Amino acid sequence: MENLKNLQVTQNEAVNLLHTISPYHYVKSLNYKSPYDWQAAILKSRHKRKVINGARQAGKSTIISAKPCHIAKHYPESVSIIIAATEYQAFLDMEKVKEFIAHDPNFPDLKRESDRLIVLDNKSWIMVVPATEKSARGPSAPRLILLDEASRIEDIVYTSGVIPMLTDNPDAELISISTPNGKSGFFYKSFKSQKWERYEIRSPWRVIESDIRLVPAEPEEEYKVKCAKKGIIGFNSPRHMDREEQQFNLEEMGTLMYKQEYGPLFVEPKDQVFDYEDIERLMNSNITPFEPDRIGIAEPLKI
Ligand SMILES: Nc1ncnc2c1ncn2[C@@H]1O[C@H](COP(=O)(O)OP(=O)(O)OP(=O)(O)O)[C@@H](O)[C@H]1O
Ligand SMILES: [Mg+2]
């Protein structure tokens, strides 16, 4: 009886324990962007190496930004690092991290806060860096490494920046998430390797090339079975259900690009005609438009 008494915990302690061991329950408790099924699967997974091949705008960066908030709060003195494909992506990811933090009234105090780094009262760090070889040479032994738009990150950043951080660091979790970008590079290789837990998040439409039209792809259950035969965990993206919107995307970007960006399929590099900056500009309405008026009038040249 005395032993049982010792086991009693307060409700707060019980909730805290649940949130510590379950990132899914923690993120759900924030009442902010309740995870889609595929995001929930990633939060629930205990596999230390996850690779997610997902459609554009599926919610990849959102889930990447929720993970470090969980680790930083519940594992004092931990280091989480997001490596993003571009400066702009890094900025957006940090904004998303801060939004999750703002929805947790019990989040530890922030001791330092910048575009690149958050240091918490409990001595945990969250870093968000663009993927240059130099900046990705992060601290030793991070607990969590997240690669956002990994297919656009140079192999050298992965091999000489990321891999060394895993040395003698068995607790480290590595998550690589992206749309595809050709059949080469570490992201493509990891998606082909059974050492990784692999996810595919697709738009539930199939392209009819001859008349640039979308028809429903096979039902999600069939798709899941097909993926499972390849050792992949497949999901429909709930953000791509609107056929008209997807048809518009298809017509704007053409069949090849639609298949890559929403398939999400690894098309041959020789077929690729768009660079990432172009795609990002096309997809992201938040980028400040070019405003010629702000340049002002040039001084006449004095010769
Ligand atoms: N679980 C969710 N509930 C509600 N909205 C969500 C959820 N996950 C993501 N979103 C919203 O979906 C939109 C796209 O999310 P996000 O930027 O994370 O996608 P992405 O896959 O990283 O996109 P991109 O391919 O452009 O990088 C955002 O407006 C985001 O707030
Ligand atoms: Mg993103």
Q: Indicate whether 297 belongs to any domain.
A: no
Q: Is the peptide bond before 264 cis (omega within 30 degrees of 0)?
A: yes
Q: Indicate whether 84 belongs to any domain.
A: yes
pTM: 0.87
Q: Indicate whether 288 belongs to any domain.
A: no
For ligand 1, whether the C-beta of 135 sits within 6 Å is no
Q: Indicate whether 261 belongs to any domain.
A: yes
Cα separation, 21 vs 289, in Å, equals 44
Residue 125 CA to ligand 1 centre (angstroms) = 24
Residue numbers of the domain that contains 54: 18-283
For ligand 1, whether the C-beta of 29 sits within 6 Å is no
- Which protein residue's CA is at the shortest distance from atom 28 of ligand 1? 59
Residue 303 CA to ligand 2 centre (angstroms) = 49
- From first to last of the 303 residues of the chain, give the pLDDT tens digit: 556 556 677 888 888 888 998 999 999 999 999 999 999 999 999 999 999 999 999 999 999 999 999 999 999 999 999 999 999 999 999 999 999 999 999 999 999 999 999 999 999 999 999 998 576 676 778 999 999 999 999 999 999 999 999 988 999 999 999 999 999 999 999 999 999 999 999 999 999 999 999 999 999 999 999 999 999 999 999 999 999 999 999 999 999 999 999 999 998 755 555 555 555 555 554 544 333 333 333 343 343
Q: Indicate whether 248 belongs to any domain.
A: yes
Q: What is the CATH number of the domain that holds 29?
A: 3.40.50.300
Q: Indicate whether 8 belongs to any domain.
A: no
> Which residues have CB under 8 Å from 11's CB, separation 6+?
none
Q: Indicate whether 255 belongs to any domain.
A: yes
Q: Which atom of ligand 1 is nearest to the CA of 261?
A: 25
Residue 59 CA to ligand 2 centre (angstroms) = 7
**How many domains, in total, are found in the chain?**
1
Q: In this structure, are residues 108 and 124 in contact, taking their beta carbons and an 8 Å threshold?
A: yes
For ligand 1, whether the C-beta of 279 sits within 6 Å is no
